[in-house]
Amino acid sequence: MTSGAKRSQSHGKSAHDPTLKRAQAATLDDVAALAEVSAKTVSRVVNEESGVRTSTRERVMRAVELLDYKPNLSARVLAGDRSFLIGLFCDKPGGYLTDFQAGAAERCRESGYHLMVEPWDRDSPQMLRQVNALLRQLRLDGVILLPPLSDDRLICNTLRDASIPMVRIAPRDHNNESASIGIDDYKAARQLTAHLLDLGHRRLGFILGRPGHGATEERYRGFTDEMRAHDVPVDATLVEAGNFQFSDGVSCAERMLRNPEPPSAIFASNDETAAAVISVAHRLGVQLPGHLSVVGFDDAPIATMLWPLLTTVRQPVSAMARLAAELIIEHSPRRQGWPTPAPRRVLDFELVIRDSTSRPRRRR
């Protein structure tokens, strides 16, 4: 065979075998040729649209992996009614934002979406103007609202007027304008309070969360109802507002533990505040958990960085985040409002008993 014939044979193969194009960026047509389907079918599979047979979808995905095909975001946006951008709006960084962001970002990556985290200051008079400016600049496929923004009517109305699907996390109220995801904070708080009462505690303190936060109200309501069910009075001098922040928790704990009749147990509305209570107790020489039991809420990483390890309620934060992103990804091509009734998901929680709670002992 002559060298010319070899060159001719090689040229012919490169023109018909898309596997030889891996030296260059693979195109949608390359994937279609290798999978023996139309380019439109490849587009539907890559965009996770319905109506494609499982066997065809698997063949396309094998071709995508073999060719290391990476869809062009700009082309995907122009080809359909999606921007492939999801907003995660929060009030202040902290709390379970880190875990939530990780879970949502992971789910977005699986479908070729991008997550954009935007913190907003609810106390700023510029907030609404800034939100509107963002919505004009970016065509978001949907927005996830963390509390307390999930109950902020200005933001919710702005997103509704812009026809942007929203998923509200742990809202105070539920409506048909938006999807919502959360746990049963009331039931969880009752179980956590019952745990302390079953240990024999009768003088309990409670540290509230942030005002206007749906979980703040539900957790306190669960606490008071369980106390009432056991005929144990709630001492108003042992109820403090901690705002879900460590610094506020320190002030609350100092007042409680310097009370002439201090509590034998403190229910903190989140783990960060519970960590503040434990810190103050150590500083004041209060024995834990013998003279003071402490419980938190969320099972954040800090719960196992303390001594004693914290008894708390485990929220499925990552699962909530993934589900929120998934609802928007599955819904976004339509962009005409949620079905009636709007999706409402209540996920399971878990009571995690650790070393920060025990039967009370009398102080000497």
Q: Which residue ranges make up each domain of the chain?
A: 3-67, 82-183+317-347, 185-315
- The mean predicted confidence, pLDDT, of the chain is 84
| Domain 3-67: CATH architecture, name and number where available | Orthogonal Bundle (1.10)
Residue 186 CA from chain centroid, whole number: 19
* Superfamily name with CATH number, domain 185-315: Response regulator (3.40.50.2300)
pLDDT at 9: 44
Distance CA 357, CA 192 (A): 11
Q: Cα–Cα distance between 108 and 86 in angstroms, integer?
A: 8
Dump the DSSP string for 74-99: HHHHHHSS---EEEEEESSS-TTHHH
For 187, the enclosing helix (H) or strand (E) is: helix 185-198
**Tens digit of pLDDT for each residue in 142-197?**
999 998 889 888 888 888 888 888 999 999 887 777 899 999 999 999 999 999 99
**Cα pseudo-dihedral 279, 281, 282, 283, rounded to 10:** 90
* Architecture of the domain spanning 82-183+317-347: 3-Layer(aba) Sandwich (3.40)
Contacts for 328 with CB less than 8 Å, ≥ 6 apart:
86, 141, 142, 143, 144, 165, 167
SS3 call for 202: coil
> What pTM was computed for the model?
0.74
Give the model's confidence band at 7: pLDDT under 50 very low, under 70 low, under 90 confident, else very high. Answer: very low
What distance in Å separates the CA atoms of residue 272 and residue 279, rounded to the nearest whole number? Answer: 11
pLDDT tens-digit readout, 196-235: 999 999 999 999 998 878 889 999 999 999 999 999 999 9
Q: Quote the pLDDT of residue 73.
A: 52
d(CA 357, CA 308): 9
- Identify the weakest region by mean pLDDT among 58-67, 249-258, 267-276: 58-67
What confidence category does residue 113 fall into, taking pLDDT thresholds of 50, 70 and 90?
confident
Query: Do the domains spanning 3-67 and 185-315 agree at the CATH topology level?
Result: no
206 contact partners, CB below 8 Å, separation of at least 6: 220, 223, 234, 238, 239, 240, 266, 267, 269
